[in-house]
Chains A and B, each alone.
Chain A
Amino acid sequence: MKNRLISLSHLKEGEKGIVTDFRGGEKLRKKLDSLGIRKGKSVKKISDMVLRGPITIKIENSSRIAIGRGMAEKIMVRLESHR
């Protein structure tokens, strides 16, 4: 069982995780919330730019969001098991 929290930036390409916590201030949470990234949402990582570039995720089969590495490190997810 993989139940520990990892940051979004540690998710591997193609892996899914449930957003569980934000290691940042209220401003960050608000910004992400308006884009549809909030606790309980399932996100899938689709790309990880080389040299610590931004990360692109897909939220529950709807929109794709690119997130700078620094911000992605503050978004904690619980790894979903593969099917």
Chain B
Amino acid sequence: MKVLLMGNPNVGKSVVFSRLTGTSVTSSNYAGTTVEYKKGLFKHNGKNIELIDVPGTYTLDPTNKAEEVAVEMLKEGDIVYNIIDATNLERNLNLTLQLLEEDIPIVVLLNMWDETKHKGINIDLDKLRDKLKVPVIPTVATTGNGLREALDYIDYREIKDFEKLTSDQRWVEIGHIINAVQEIKPKHHSGKEILEEYTLKPWSGLPIAAGILYLVFIVIRFIGEGLIGYIAEPFFEGPYYNLLMSISSLLNEGSFLHDLFIGQLVNGQIDFEQSFGLLTTGIFIPFAAVLPYIVSFYFVLSILEDSGYLPRLAVLVDNLMHKVGLHGFSIIPMILGFGCNVPAALAARNLDSKREQFIASTLMSISIPCMAQTAMIIGLVGAFGGIYIFYVFASLFVVWIIVGLLLNYFLPGYSSDLLLEIPTLRTPVFKVVLKKLWMRIVNFLKEAIPFVLLGVLAVNAMYALGFFDLLTRFIGPIFAKLFGLPKEVISALLMGFLRKDLAMGMLAPLNLTVKQLVISSAILTVYFPCVATFIVLFRELGLKNMIKSAGVMIVSAVTVGTILNIGFNSIFGSIITLFSIFIVIMILYRMTGKKHLKLME
């Protein structure tokens, strides 16, 4: 039996979903679309129930892709559990009345029932049942109250006859219902409401956002490093190492199988970072180096999501994002990128258009260093002083802006205006956060690990074919001239294709000056994403757009390397550089502004 959970966004639908289902939940794309939905299985009175968390929708007269999918899904369900926000009855009833007009049994869950009292809202349940002619159950999803009663109606199959109304007629009807069932005693602004509004006003909202983001990164690093130090490393350097060493002696060093699975021994030992076998580096990178940060990152992100803060962040950065052809909500893939570029490239598919997806993925892979790389930049460049870390990140931000302005100007079309409901701030429910975390980790493992293994294979093959030597010989001289870097740096760049933090590590023994380190760090971030991200981009964007995106990356890397080299040469060079960057940004800013105006007409 298929049960559909439907309702407006931010009414607690996902919380109901998490409460009702166990661990057998999956998240997938609706056939032929990029719209994601969640599906879970559970047993009720001996029957197998398939519960579907339909994307949030305000209306059945679709205004976007997610709503189109919701309407499609309606045809497949046996019953709809329509979840509505009791504190916002009027708008929520719009969808309810539309659902009642359809040929499908409806049960209404009046969620957030507990909050109605605080807000001075009084709803007469019997009158509401009488008006809607269907079961109406008050629920508090965060505590699970009322969900048991809701399940009692799972076999409810009555379809009431409602005539089809026009939009205006429906609002009139809703007005009648509201007048009959709801009473509101006006209340003063509560402290929470005042705080909520402060997060949206520029002069208070921006500092709050900066503080929250700072805290987020501190916590992510803390948990990530804890997981690596106390779980991942002890396991890999202990039992797993011993296991691999015995496999290694079984296979004989130098044999084909040894090369494939174990790779090269370093001083007779397996080096998880340099051996490049499928079982050594191929397993170590995704599980020991990346996964702990992914777990920690997604944990913090899920808390941030469930607290209702993210839409506020989207509002605060909307106009900056508009300048680069995106809108506020594209901040999500950007933030994700700081954790790992792979899930970020995947998240870009949820944006409104192909254009936004292309711009967001390209900008993200160009200027957002992942967690592992950031840690290495801080370690290596930071040793010379914090100001140099600032140089690296400032350069990356400038690249982000300029490339974004250019893409926005040259790609046809423009970004749509933001239109977004801002939910109230809530305390996340721990169980729901954990379930979300679990789903994300499973998805990450399924999607990223094959790519990393493929990447290890690819690098092995390129080494064997002498491809890297050839590249070093050709690019070396260009490097020295343009970037002022010794040609040994190239091997680090090639390594960066596989793993950026390791590549940073290869710079350490080269005795580079701090100027060379800043330049290499910037180039290493910009020139190419790691192979796992690269493959995801290829899959998400298609070959043609991937090549375009890669072209943008290479051109940007060469430009930023050269400019930094000039800018660092002398004070005179720095002033000229800063000045020209400023002029370029101003010109591009005006150009995109004019283009936007032209398109609006």
Instruction: Please list the residues of chain A having a beta carbon within 8 angstroms of any beta carbon in chain B.
Output: 13, 27, 30-36, 38, 46-54, 56, 59, 61-71
Report B291-332 residues with CB < 8 Å from chain A CB.
311, 314-316, 318-319, 322, 327-328
Which residue of chain B has the shortest Cβ distance to A59 in the bound complex?
A: B91
Does B63 touch A at the CB level, under 8 Å?
A: yes
B419 contacts which of A48, A61, A65 (Cβ < 8 Å)? A65
Q: In the complex the two chains form, is B171's CB within 8 Å of A34's CB?
A: no
Q: In the complex the two chains form, is B318's CB within 8 Å of A53's CB?
A: yes
- In the complex, the number of residue pairs spanning A and B with C-beta atoms less than 8 Å apart equals 103
A56 contacts which of B186, B200, B417, B600 (Cβ < 8 Å)? B200
Instruction: Tell me which of A53, A65, A67 has the highest count of chain B C-beta atoms within 10 A of its own C-beta.
Output: A53
Binding site of A, secondary structure by majority: helix, strand, loop or mixed? Answer: mixed
Q: In the complex the two chains form, is B167's CB within 8 Å of A47's CB?
A: no
B316 contacts which of A49, A62, A64, A69 (Cβ < 8 Å)? A49
Instruction: Tell me which of A13, A35, A47 has the highest count of chain B C-beta atoms within 10 A of its own C-beta.
Output: A47
| Bound CA span A14–B417, Å | 23
**Chain B positions within 8 Å of A47 at CB level:** 197, 200-202, 205, 315
Q: In the complex the two chains form, is A56's CB within 8 Å of B91's CB?
A: no
A66 contacts which of B58, B322, B416, B422 (Cβ < 8 Å)? B422
B421 contacts which of A46, A52, A64 (Cβ < 8 Å)? A64
Q: In the complex the two chains form, is B319's CB within 8 Å of A67's CB?
A: no
Does B525 touch A at the CB level, under 8 Å?
A: no
**Chain A positions within 8 Å of B94 at CB level:** 34, 36
Does B88 touch A at the CB level, under 8 Å?
A: yes
| Bound CA span A47–B318, Å | 13
Given contact pairs A34-B94, A68-B327, a sample of 11 additional A-B residue pairs in the complex whose CB atoms are under 8 Å apart: A34-B58, A47-B315, A54-B319, A54-B328, A54-B418, A64-B196, A64-B422, A66-B315, A66-B421, A68-B318, A70-B417
Q: In the complex the two chains form, is B318's CB within 8 Å of A56's CB?
A: no
**Chain A positions within 8 Å of B59 at CB level:** 30, 33-34
Q: In the complex the two chains form, is A52's CB within 8 Å of B422's CB?
A: no
| Bound CA span A17–B472, Å | 67
Closest beta carbon of chain B to A82's beta carbon, Å:
16
B418 contacts which of A30, A35, A61, A66 (Cβ < 8 Å)? A66
| Bound CA span A62–B178, Å | 14
Q: In the complex the two chains form, is A71's CB within 8 Å of B419's CB?
A: yes
| Bound CA span A53–B206, Å | 13
1/0 contact trace for B159-200 toward A, CB 8 Å?
000000001000100000000000010100000000011001
| Bound CA span A49–B184, Å | 31
Q: In the complex the two chains form, is A68's CB within 8 Å of B418's CB?
A: yes
Q: A34 with B318: in contact, given A66-B419, A66-B422, A68-B418 (CB under 8 Å)?
A: no
Write 11 A-B pairs (CB below 8 A) sorted by A numbering. A30-B59, A34-B59, A35-B91, A46-B201, A49-B316, A53-B316, A62-B90, A63-B421, A65-B419, A68-B419, A69-B417
**Chain A positions within 8 Å of B88 at CB level:** 62-63
A71 contacts which of B197, B319, B417 (Cβ < 8 Å)? B417
Q: A70 with B202: in contact, given A53-B318, A56-B422 (CB under 8 Å)?
A: no
Does B61 touch A at the CB level, under 8 Å?
A: yes
A67 contacts which of B58, B90, B311, B417 (Cβ < 8 Å)? B417
**Chain A positions within 8 Å of B200 at CB level:** 46-47, 56, 64, 66
Closest beta carbon of chain B to A57's beta carbon, Å:
10
B63 contacts which of A34, A38, A53 (Cβ < 8 Å)? A34
**Chain B positions within 8 Å of A50 at CB level:** 202, 319
| Bound CA span A65–B201, Å | 13
Closest beta carbon of chain A to B18's beta carbon, Å:
23
Does B87 touch A at the CB level, under 8 Å?
A: yes
Number of chain B residues whose Cβ lies closer than 8 Å to a Cβ of chain A: 36
Does B462 touch A at the CB level, under 8 Å?
A: no
Closest beta carbon of chain A to B394's beta carbon, Å:
20
Does B547 touch A at the CB level, under 8 Å?
A: no
| Bound CA span A46–B417, Å | 19
Report B416-430 residues with CB < 8 Å from chain A CB.
416-422
**Chain A positions within 8 Å of B58 at CB level:** 34-35
The 7 closest A-B pairs by CB, nearest first: A68-B417, A53-B319, A34-B58, A36-B91, A34-B59, A68-B418, A64-B422
1/0 contact trace for B264-282 toward A, CB 8 Å?
0000000000000000000
Q: In the complex the two chains form, is B90's CB within 8 Å of A31's CB?
A: no
| Bound CA span A59–B167, Å | 19
1/0 contact trace for B82-112 toward A, CB 8 Å?
0000011011001000000000000000000
Q: In the complex the two chains form, is B61's CB within 8 Å of A67's CB?
A: no
| Bound CA span A79–B384, Å | 58
**Chain B positions within 8 Å of A71 at CB level:** 417-419
| Bound CA span A10–B197, Å | 19
| Bound CA span A65–B418, Å | 10
Which residue of chain A has the shortest Cβ distance to B316 in the bound complex?
A: A49
1/0 contact trace for B408-452 toward A, CB 8 Å?
000000001111111000000000000000000000000000000
| Bound CA span A48–B322, Å | 16
Which residue of chain B has the shortest Cβ distance to A68 in the bound complex?
A: B417
Q: A56 with B61: in contact, given A34-B94, A66-B422 (CB under 8 Å)?
A: no
Closest beta carbon of chain A to B315's beta carbon, Å:
5
**Chain A positions within 8 Å of B202 at CB level:** 47-50, 53
Which residue of chain A has the shortest Cβ distance to B328 in the bound complex?
A: A54
**Chain B positions within 8 Å of A69 at CB level:** 319, 417
Q: In the complex the two chains form, is A52's CB within 8 Å of B418's CB?
A: no
Which residue of chain A has the shortest Cβ distance to B414 in the bound complex?
A: A70
Q: In the complex the two chains form, is B600's CB within 8 Å of A33's CB?
A: no
Which residue of chain A has the shortest Cβ distance to B416 in the bound complex?
A: A68
